[in-house]
Amino acid sequence: MHVTNRFDRRQALKAGAASAGFVLLASSVPALAQRAKGPAEVPVDELMKAGDLPDLAVGQDTAKVTIVEYASMTCGHCMAFHTKVFPELKKKYVDTGKVRFIFREFPLDARAFAASMLARCAGPDKSLGMIEALFETQEQWAFVRENPTPKLFEIAKQAGFTQESFDKCLTDQKLLDQLTAIHTRGNEVFGVNATPSFFINGKRLQAAPTVEEFDKILEPLLAQG
């Protein structure tokens, strides 16, 4: 299992600063285990406490069940979940008003920070769509040896970025600090140290994030009066 407790914020900002000619880290990110150490359950009120950045969420805020995911944009398992599992999970539970799904950033490296910054800079109406696009194209920018900045800009342009807004986003120290705060709180308060990590009404998903495993937990919760 790949565990993360420390990361270099300065390196993340430097790596993301395309306008200054920096090159993003070229090392590939190893596959991460789906199970994370940490408490089996966390207080829901604490988990749902608002931070400086608004949560990226889909689904009704009155839903009986809330799933919180901590994910890194360079995590292979996160990509697999979002491209293969989440569409069915969303159709079955989120679109029907039964579940609210919250995505929280847990960047594990410089490229993940850059991608998360771009998703946030896309704006509240486009952030989740850009996260989806970045996961779908992950192999083209996250694991390549060459500078991935051109590919990231190509993706960003589809969300309306100009070269100026792209460069400005990747040199936004405040945004970098805010994303760092989400990572730090997830690690120190909720014991998140691997991605993806899921909390369902405060209880950590201990199994692989498949639709079948979510069914086992969600159906009993939804059946309660």
Is there a contact between 194 and 2 (Cβ–Cβ < 8 Å)?
yes
- In the numeric block, which tokens belong to residue 130? 């850009």
Which spans in 122-158 are helix H? 127-136, 138-141, 149-158
Walk across the sheet containing 56-58 and list its strands: 56-58, 99-105, 65-71, 197-200, 203-204
Element (H or E) spanning 148, and its range? none
- Model pTM score: 0.85
Q: Tell whether the model's pLDDT for residue 186 goes beyond 50.
A: yes
**Average model confidence (pLDDT) for the chain?**
87
Q: What is the mean pLDDT of residues 43-62?
A: 95
Q: What is the mean pLDDT of residues 95-111?
A: 97
- Poorest-confidence range of 27-31, 76-80, 127-131? 27-31
